[in-house]
Amino acid sequence: MKIDLTGTTAGDINKALVRGRRAIGTPAVGMVLTLVIVTDEENAYDSLKAANDASREHPSRTLVVIKRVSRSPRDRTSSRLDAEVRVGADAGTGETVVLRLYGEVSDHADSVVLPLLLPDAPVVVWWPVNAPLDPAKDPLGALAQRRVTDTYAAEQPVRELAARAEAYTPGDTDLSWTRITPWRSMLAAALDQVVCEVRAVEVEGEEFNPSCELLAMWLADRLDVRVKRSLSSGPGLTAVRLDTSCGPVVLDRADGSLATLSIEGQPARAVALKRRDTAELIAEELRRLDPDDTYASALRYGVERLNTVPEQQAAADEPPAGAEAAEEAATAPAKKAAARSAKKAPAGKAAAK
């Protein structure tokens, strides 16, 4: 069931939701959270479809916030709120409200969203594209316990990762991190099968894919070893190679679907490691609403520290222990020569000085 409202208010939208629930015979509200999607018109359909699919696992009220760009100066000074209320089969297993904000009301989207939040239920805000550099300080992000971005959609993903690390607040997460959950699980399980020391790691994947950098930073942070980031034609992550004292451990996925796990002394095994769609990713993120400390630690490791040995990085951060001694040794001959000259100088000259 769909109800279109033009030039409406938050109060009218709430009334339409109650009217819609009664019309389909489900007056009770059985939703567990409010999902706020902040997007543009171009990406609204795909984002809403993913949210509806995820709602089968997490029944929720989905609020889609679309800020429409006004064409003329006169339109930019006026304000209007249009809404499309969906309940029943048109809204997955929850409720959906598509909000289109025009004019000055676009700058106050939080005031529109606040009256529509489910009472006593957690709030998750998701930016499929054009996420703010500091989601926690965004007016909509400040309403949420969980803030989901997607660095893969950024124009410069690697630079975006650095900005995310600088502005990280507990509750922030990224779908680029969610994409590597199966990889992290598989690599952790592989290392549990061997008792060896990991000496170096190589992460291979397509260029401008932040999931590759995040996986490399996670491995470098957890294993405290040098991690090399190499490029491939994709799709996405293609291989992780671990050089251990017991031989190589390789997880190779060339086709984006089926991977091969090779461990020294064991037969190679085929493992399912398909690339997941957005609905699966957002459903995984909605399963946990507490801060992800592992993501925070990997993010703060820093892309610039990849391809370096930990000892080299530490040496670069502070002067070498023998730097002062080396400088002293280098200048010692000159100091001794100066001392000898001073001793040979006539007394009169010394007195004149």
Q: Does the pLDDT value for residue 335 go beyond 60?
A: no
Among 13-17, 244-248, 308-312, where is mean pLDDT lowest? 308-312
0.85 cut: is pTM over it? no
Q: Does the pLDDT value for residue 317 go beyond 60?
A: no
pLDDT at 296: 95
pLDDT at 265: 85
pLDDT at 32: 86
Task: Give the ranges where 119-180 is alpha helix by DSSP (H).
Answer: 157-166, 175-178
Shortest CA distance to 214 belongs to which of 250, 168, 277?
168
> pLDDT tens across 152-202, in order?
998 889 889 999 999 999 999 999 999 999 999 999 999 988 888 999 999
pLDDT at 255: 85
Among 77-81, 120-124, 322-326, where is mean pLDDT lowest? 322-326
More confident position, 264 or 36: 36
> pLDDT tens across 258-303, in order?
999 999 888 999 998 999 999 999 999 999 889 999 999 999 998 8
pLDDT at 71: 67
Q: Does the pLDDT value for residue 42 go beyond 70?
A: yes
pLDDT at 234: 80
pLDDT at 24: 79
CB-based contacts of 38, cutoff 8 Å, min separation 6:
65, 109, 125, 126, 127, 140
pLDDT at 336: 46
Element (H, E) at 188: helix 181-192
Q: Starting at the earlier edge strand, list the strands of the sheet with 79-87.
A: 2-5, 79-87, 95-103, 60-67, 33-39, 123-126, 146-149, 172-174
In the chain, the percentage of residues whose pLDDT exceeds 90 is: 58
pLDDT at 306: 81
